[in-house]
Amino acid sequence: MELQAVLMAAGGGSRMMDLTYNTRKPLLPVGNKPLIWYPLNLLERVGFEEVIVITTKEVQKMISTDPKMKLDVKMKLDIVCIQEDADMGTADALRHIQQKIKTDILVVSCDLITDAALHEVVDLFRAHNATLSMLMSKAHEFTETVPGQKGKKKTGEQRDFVGVDGTGKRLLFMANEADLDKGLVIRKSIMRKLPRMHIKTGLVDAHLYCLKKSVVDFLADNKSVSSIRGELVPYLVRKQFSKSMTSPNVNDEADQKLKKKDGNANLEIQILSRDEVLLQLTRERSCWNDHRGDMSEAYHGVRLRCYVHIMDEGMCYRVNTLAAYIEANRLAPKLFDEPAVHPSAAISVRCLIGADSIIGASCQISDKASIKRSMIGASTTVREKVKVTNSIIMHGVTIEEGCNIQGSVICSNTVIGRGADIKYCLVGSAQRIEPEGAFWKTPSRLSCAFY
């Protein structure tokens, strides 16, 4: 086994609390499948047979019991539960499962929906014997109106500056705008080694990482690192060019033992990808080099290397905000070719269902209903003369006659009274909307009123 896959599915979805109040993030329905299905499917497609899923007890219970959450994957899922209230970061979680990790790992976040060619990332990892390789994509503009938000919200998040080398593969630099109070500082020693650096902004980190096993061992020794994205990745990127990583005597066995004794020093050493002897020899004998110009050896003797694959096209979403959730719902059906209407759904002949809508299992759609560009979850009942446009209706919702729902998100088990008019709203789960109620896009979070 070359790579072990690890799926991080314990996140709370803190940036879309409205949705995750009742349903945990990994179980949010996207295109009538739980969100967690997408990364699992991604892994299955590329041929993984086993995945370690790190999640909470609650999610595990739901997955194993609730038929609606059934994951139709053939892979063997090794589910590891962590305490929900332990406030563990992703790196903490990796440390937690260190015993299980025997090889290099591929870490995926549960909120990733992408059609990226995973082999690109893994190939970089293989070809350069990298310590880290990751996936990034151009950021997408969200086009849909977000319920409960007034106007188009500017993405308040700060930009990330990502520096790659001339080929666009090697990751040299990473900084957040927030940390750049003194302007962009790049060390000249890096510039001397790799004289061309492209600085890019407007990229989304897909939170998909290939990591060497030694990195996990490093995490085990270094308890202060708690998040992969926040701490580990910037640390690795920075470490590429620090002196201890390039000094030639690190492969000196005696030296290594010495360093192991004095506490902190060994933490850095262990993260080194120890090139095998043969590999080293190959590199020495080969005329191949990763750079031009100076006459130094390939990679300038840097033993810790980080690479990034930046997707030019294709879709890559991280469902961590409401806007992304809506966007993902709109695009997800394109990812898999299953019938838009589930065979078990009972659909009246005289209703109108747009081609871009999905209808879940055992739904009931009555006469003269019109459904466009929407997702209807399992066991949902839609009565006569209901119009649903641009909306997400989760499981077990009942929509009474003559309702008009537009651009909204209706969470599970809600009952919407007859003739209600709901536009650009977010309705929480298990609510009852009074008949003839009219809810228009309100400045405040309308959904909160229903909890």
Partner 1 sequence: MSSRGGKQKKGNVTSEQEEEEQPLQAVLVADSFNRRFFPISKDQPRALLPLGNVAMIDYTLEFLTSTGVQETFVFCCWMSNKIKDHLLKSKWCRPTSPNVVHIITSDLYRSLGDVLRDVDAKNLVRNDFILVYGDVVSNIDVSQALQEHRHRRKVDKNISVMTMVFKESSPGHKSRCEEDDVIVAMDSKSKRFSMGTDEFEIRHDLLDCHISICSPQVAELFTDNFDYQTRNDFVRGILVNEEILGNQIHLYVTQDGYGARVSNLQMYDSVSSDMVRRWVYPLTPEANFTDQQGQGCTHSRHNVYRGAEVSLGHGSQMEENVLIGRDTSIGANCHISNSVIGNNCTIGDNVVLDRAHMWNNVHISSNVEIHQSVVCDGAVVKEAVHLNKQCVLAYNVVIGPNLSLPDGTVVSMHHPEEEEEDDDDEFLSDDQEVGHSKDKTRQKAFNPAEVGPEGKGYIWKASMNDTEDEELAQCLWGLVLNPDPESDSESEASEESQDRTFQLEVLGTLQRGLEENIVCDNLVLEINSLKYAYNITLKEVMQILTRVVLEYPFQQQGTQLTTLQYTGSLLPLLKTWSPVFKNYIKRAQDHLDCLSAVEELFLEQDTHQTAMVKVLMKMYQLEILEEEAILKWFSTGATNDKSRQLRKNQGKQRMSLQRKESEEDESSEEGE
**Binding partner 1 by CB under 8 A: which of 12, 50, 195, 440?**
195
Query: Nearest to residue 231, comparing CAs of 215, 246, 245?
Result: 215
196 in contact with partner 1 (CB under 8 A): yes
192 in contact with partner 1 (CB under 8 A): yes
Structure tokens at 420: 């209600």
Query: Nearest to residue 398, comparing CAs of 422, 371, 379?
Result: 379
Residue 187 or 350: the one with the smaller Cβ distance to partner 1 is: 187
Rounded least distance, CB 256 to partner 1, Å? 20
The structure tokens 């927030």 sit at 178
> Per-residue contact track with partner 1, 363 to 392, x per CB under 8 A?
------------------------------
Stretch that binds partner 1, among 286-294, 316-324, 330-338, 374-382 (CB under 8 A): 286-294
The structure tokens 């790196």 sit at 91
Stretch that binds partner 1, among 127-135, 199-207, 278-286, 422-430 (CB under 8 A): 199-207
Neighbouring C-beta atoms of residue 322, cutoff 10 Å:
24
**Binding partner 1 by CB under 8 A: which of 292, 312, 343, 349?**
292
**Binding partner 1 by CB under 8 A: which of 86, 180, 191, 448?**
191
Rounded least distance, CB 292 to partner 1, Å? 6
What is the phi/psi pair of residue 200, to 5°? Answer: -120, 145
Residue 64 or 189: the one with the smaller Cβ distance to partner 1 is: 189
> Per-residue contact track with partner 1, 228 to 267, x per CB under 8 A?
----------x--xxx------------------------
151: region left, alpha or beta (phi > 0 left; psi from -120 to 50 alpha): left
Structure tokens at 231: 């701490």
Query: Nearest to residue 420, comparing CAs of 406, 405, 410?
Result: 405
Q: Using CA atoms, how far apart are residues 424 and 409, in angstroms rounded to an integer?
A: 8
Q: Using CA atoms, how far apart are residues 62 and 286, in angstroms rounded to an integer?
A: 54
Residue 68 or 193: the one with the smaller Cβ distance to partner 1 is: 193
Q: Using CA atoms, how far apart are residues 408 and 164, in angstroms rounded to an integer?
A: 40
What is the 8-class DSSP label of residue 170? B
Rounded least distance, CB 87 to partner 1, Å? 24
**Binding partner 1 by CB under 8 A: which of 293, 301, 314, 354?**
293
Q: Using CA atoms, how far apart are residues 169 and 121, in angstroms rounded to an integer?
A: 10
Interface residue list for partner 1 (CB under 8 A): 163, 184, 186-189, 191-192, 195-202, 238, 241-243, 292-294
